[in-house]
Structure formats: structure tokens, C-alpha cells
Chain A
Amino acid sequence: MRQLRTYWLDAVAIVACLLVFVVPFAFIVLTASKSAEEAKEWELSLPEEWRFWSNLREVLSFDDGLVMLAMRNSFILTICSVALIVVFGAMVGFTLDRRRDRVASVASGMIMMGLIIPPAVVPTIYTLQQLQLFKTLPGLILVEVAFGLPYAIILFRAFSATIPRELDEAAMIDGCSGFRLFFKVIFPLLRPVIITVIITSSITIYNDFTNPLYFLPGRDNATAQLTLFNFRSQFISQWNLLFMDALIITIPPLIMFLFFNRKIVDGMAGAVKG
């Protein structure tokens, strides 16, 4: 009897989760597979005729392959930003842990500010303009790096504390420079936290909508998220294509999720705890 009751509870939990969390995604996939005529109805139903591949082709070829161009932009943006965040962030995080002096505590205060203070939009545009970086991909990369660094540094600093100092001393006695010590000895040991930073920052930056909206406007510069936002006004009554685009841009994080489910969950849970 007791056994039966716990099964009941499990069943209720699963069904509730399906309704609340899976239905919206099912809606995206089903609508993306319908004809324009049928997709307009906004029903949660199987398509009368599956048009998945032809819809996919149509979205990808729309406006001279804008979606592919945007995906490329998004990948370049994500990869470059994450690479810089990892290297720069690890250098600062490690050094902050080892040198606990006044400079380090001032730096820690500035990092905390970066975590809570919303960036001032127009002055940032103005600054980028002065540097000739406004509306350029390198400009947006620097923006993502600046906004993503504080969180990465905190993770790197916390992890560096677990690496014994005896290791540094041994390397120094062997005649390593500070530079060699960090890149040859320490950096490889940071591997677990590097993976965490790569996964969490790449999802954040790939999904970012606000910063590309402000700092990288223009058709040729569109990122994946911006195409979806802009298509809403272009694909009027072509909901199948709109949701197909939503599906396409969700695939990279989905793949990450399938492969690194545990790592993402642990990383994010640990990350925000700092």
C-alpha cells in the first residue's frame, strides 16, 4: 500500500513536470514542423504533414543565408570571448589568491562591483566609439570579456586556494619565472574550473541578447539571438519558420546540455556560490 502511494507521488511529479516544463518545448518543435497555414493556428498538435526539413531549408536560405551568417558571428563571439575570459581570468584569480595584499583587496572590491552594478549603456557606446570599436565584433568581444571576467575571477581564485603553495616554491627553486610557473605548472592544474568557466560563460554569451542589441547593430553583424528577435517583425504569419529559427538557435546549448548535464548543473550551482 505504502509502495503504491509513493509510485503515485512520483507519477504526479513527472506529469506535472511534463506539463509545465516540456509542453513549451514540444510546442516549439511541433510548430516548427508544420505548414505556415497550420502553424498559424498555434495548436499543440501533431502536424498533418511533417515539413521539418523543408522549413529548415527555407529558414537557412532566407535573406541570403542570414541565419548561417548569424550563427557564425555567434560562434566567433563566443569562442573568442570565452578564450580571453579563461586566460585573463585565471591569471588574475591565481595572483589574487597568492598575493593577499592591499592591491588584492582593492581589486576584490572592484570585482564585486562588476557582479552587481548594471553597465551604463550609452557611456559604453561612447567609449567604444572613441576606440573605433562600436558596431564591430572585436568591440562586442571586449564587452563580453569585461562583463564576464568578475564571475570567472572569483571561481579561479577559489580554486587556486586549493593548489598547495609548496608547488610554487618547488618550481621557483627549479628556476622557473613567474610566467613559466603559471602557464606550465598552475594553468594545467586549473583544468576542472576552466571547464566550468568555459561551459557557463559560453552558454551565457551565446544566449546574450542585450549586449549585441546595443553594441553590434546591423544586418551583417546579427548574432543568432538577434535573428530571432528581428524575424518576429519579418515573418508575420509564418510562425513555422519563426519557431524553426527558435529551434535552430537552441541546438548549441541543447548539445552542451546533453553532453555536460552534470558539469553544467554542478558548475552553475558552485559558480554562484563563489
Chain B
Amino acid sequence: MQHLRKAYPRSFYVPAGLVYLVIFFVPTGLAFYYAFTRWTLFESQWIGLDNFRQFFREEALLKSLRNTLVYAVITSGSKVVIGMGLAVLVTSRIRLKGTVRAMIFFPVIVSTVAVGLTFSVLMHPTDGLYNRVLAAVGVDGPHWLTDVNLAIFSVALVDIWKGLGLAMVIYIAGIMSIPRDLYEAVAVDGGGWWQQFRYITLPLSQPATFTVILFSFVGGLRSFELIWTMTGGGPGFASDVIASTIYKQYQAGFYGLATAGNVILFVLVTALVVPMTRYFARREIRR
């Protein structure tokens, strides 16, 4: 014990702990008080559950709650399926590996604002490149970002495009760690490409699947930048998510309401992600 105290002093926790507590933990705690107040940053007045009532009564705010869930489910689900497919393709065809992987991965490191700007131009209903190409082959293209029912899905599509590379490289790492002789064993037993995928790749890349689901689901629930730069939550509030609602309420000076949004997002993320991590951890231990 004496030895521990000398070799690994607890004072090493202090610098990181101080920044983390003051900038992250304290504000998170404060949120649980100010969410119940009308707040100007200088003074606050306790109003009980009014902020939350307003959140669940106003159509615009309720819509943002639904959109957040839809967005998180669609983006994380697609990244799992397409990311795994691409990883299988890239690992099986050595000749392409480097080039294709680099092309797909590059958007991951490009700023979201630049991506959002570019796609909001490409997806313009009449002058955008996509609909012009569609028009050239005689198809009346969808109004990607201006259609009330479509906007959130169009942004989700770009989110998938941008995040796919990360999902893919996680799967590549997972697939590469599977011993080769397992595939040979299946081949010896007369199993073809599908059997190899179904009985080896799919079950043995499960840790990669858990990782991709977790990080993209958490990211999806918290997402703000792409939505804000592509639609600003519009048209109207059709593509608002909780994070963009928080920003709008903040801009309008409704600090209590914005903080209530933060608390709702906190509860939503915790309620969905904590059981998920528990379940994944149990599954991994059992294997």
C-alpha cells in the first residue's frame, strides 16, 4: 500500500479531474436544477415542471423528440449493415483494398460544416446536381431537403455517407482478427461464400457490430452539426432534433427551456444506451 502511494500518486488525477469536474460534471448537475426554472443567466425563478410540460405539449418540440429517435436508429442501423458489407468486400478483394478504403474513409475526417454545405447544394430540388442527373434520365427527383416528410431522411443519408468509413474500418479490424483456418475448415466441408459469411464472419465480428452500434447510436442521438448546416431544422421544424431545438431555445433566450431539452436528451441517451452497453457486455463475456 505504501508502495502504491509512492509509485502511483493519486495527485495524478487532479489536473484532469479538476477540468472535467468543473467544465463537465458541475454544469451537468446544475442542469437538473435550472431545467425547472425560468432562467436569464442572472436570476432564476422556480417554475416546477412547466418547461417539461411545454416540451411535451408543443408540436414542434415533440417532433424533434421523434426525429432524434428516427435519425439515430436509421443512421446506426445503416452504418452497421453497409459498413459490414463494404468491409467484407474490401477484405476479400486485395487489389482494391487501399484505394477503396481511402476513398470511403476520407469523409470521416472532413469537417461536417463543409460536408453539409456541399450536400445542401448538391441536393437542391431544381438546380442541384443530383436532381439534374435524374432529370436527364427522365426521373422527377425528390425535393431532398425542402420536402417536409423527406428532409430528415436526406440529412440522415449524408450522415451515413460521412460516417460509413469509420464503421467500415472497425469491421475490417474485426474481420482481420478472425483466424483464416476457420474459413478453410468451412471450405473443406464444401461451404461456399455464403456459408463462410453466415457461420464465420457474421458471428465472429459481433464485437465490431456492438462497437459500431454504440458509437453511431450515441452520435445519432446527439447529432446537431449536420442538421444545423443542411436544413437548420427546416422546412419549418420538420427536421429538428433535440439538439437543434436546444440551440433555437438558447438563441431565443429561453435558457430554462433549453436546459430542460438538455435534461430530456440526457435521460433519453442514458435510458437507451446504458441497458444497451450492459447487454453487449454480458454477451461478450458469455462468448
A interface, CB within 8 angstroms of B: 6, 9-10, 13-14, 17-18, 20-25, 27-28, 41-44, 84, 87-89, 91-92, 94-95, 98-99, 103, 107, 110, 112, 114-129, 131, 142-143, 145-147, 149-150, 153, 168, 172, 177-179, 181-182, 203, 206-207, 209-210, 213-214, 224-225, 228-229, 232, 239, 242-243, 246, 249-250, 253, 256-257, 261, 264-266, 268-270, 272-273
Q: 8 Å CB contacts to A: which residues of B91-131?
A: 93, 95-96, 99-115, 117-119, 121-122, 124, 127-129
- What's the interface size class on B, roughly? 35 or more
The main secondary structure of chain A at its interface with chain B is helix
Min distance, Cβ B220 to any Cβ of chain A, angstroms:
12
* Residue B156 is within 8 A (CB to CB) of chain A in the complex: no
Q: Which residue from B20, B124, B224 sits with its C-beta under 8 Å from A146?
A: B20
Q: Which 7 A-B pairs have the closest CB atoms?
A: A120-B31, A146-B23, A123-B27, A88-B16, A123-B30, A207-B111, A124-B27
Contact of A269 among B39, B109, B161, B172 (CB under 8 A): B172
Summarize B's interface: helix, strand, loop or mixed.
Answer: helix
Contact B96 A246 (CB under 8 A): no
Question: Does B282 reach chain A (CB closer than 8 Å)?
Answer: no
List, in ascending order, chain B residues with CB within 8 A of A213's CB: 247
Instruction: Determine the distance from Cα of A89 to Cα of B6 in the docked complex, in whole angstroms.
Output: 20
Name the A residues within 8 Å of B17 (CB-CB).
92, 107
Binding site for A on B (CB under 8 A): 3-4, 6-10, 12-13, 15-17, 19-20, 22-28, 30-31, 34, 39, 41, 89, 93, 95-96, 99-115, 117-119, 121-122, 124, 127-129, 161, 166, 169-170, 172-173, 207-208, 211, 215, 218, 221-222, 224-225, 229, 243, 246-247, 250, 255, 258-259, 262-263, 265-266, 269-270, 273-274, 277
Contact yes or no, B118 A172, CB < 8 A: no
